[in-house]
């Protein structure tokens, strides 16, 4: 069962573009579908993280070191200080971040920065 607030949202633009790209035999530029392998240093970092035991699902709003790094970078870029545990949320993509900021239950929520990378 879908929440009433979400009923009007049918599918993402990424799904629509992917369907159109297949239909028209086009290159899909609507989403990150690289046609090349990632850099070796990234793959090696992932292997090392797995070897160190970082191989489980992360908590839904980001692991503490990542949240702290985001808060530090936000401060460096804006001069504003945010609490990494209560004012930083990591999402699984930009669509989730935008939706969470728009339909969040917290009436005190104020978006001071939204970064999608």
Contact 88, 71 (CB under 8 A): yes
In a domain, 101, yes or no: yes
Q: 74-91 pLDDT, tens per residue?
A: 999 999 999 999 888 888
**Is this model's pTM higher than 0.85 or not?**
no
Q: Answer yes or no: is 70 within a domain.
A: yes
Specify if 117 maps to a domain. no
Q: What is the dihedral of CA 106, 63, 2, 15, to 10 degrees?
A: 120
Number of domains comprising the chain: 1
Asked if residue 87 is part of any domain, the answer here is: yes
Q: How far apart are CA 40 and CA 46, in angstroms?
A: 10
Q: Is residue 27 part of a domain?
A: no
Which two structure tokens, joined as six digits, stand for 86? 């209560």
pLDDT at position 35, please? 73
Contact 108, 73 (CB under 8 A): no
Give the angle subtended at the CA of 80 by the CAs of 74 and 81, to the nearest 5°.
85
**23 found inside a domain:** no
**pLDDT tens profile 6-64:** 677 777 788 888 899 899 998 887 777 677 888 999 999 999 999 999 888 888 888 89
Which residue segment(s) compose the domain that 86 sits in?
60-105
In the prediction, which pLDDT does 39 show? 93
């Amino acid at each position: 069962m879908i929440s009433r607030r979400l009923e009007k949202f049918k599918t993402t633009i990424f799904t629509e573009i992917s369907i159109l790209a297949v239909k028209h035999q086009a290159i899909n530029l609507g989403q990150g579908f690289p046609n090349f392998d990632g850099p070796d240093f990234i793959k090696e970092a992932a292997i090392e993280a797995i070897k160190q035991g970082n191989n489980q699902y992360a908590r839904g709003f980001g692991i503490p070191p990542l949240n702290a790094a985001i808060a530090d970078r936000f401060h460096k870029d804006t001069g504003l200080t945010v609490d990494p545990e209560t004012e930083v949320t990591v999402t699984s993509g930009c669509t989730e971040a935008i939706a969470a900021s728009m339909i969040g239950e917290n009436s005190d929520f104020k978006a001071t920065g939204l970064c999608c990378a």
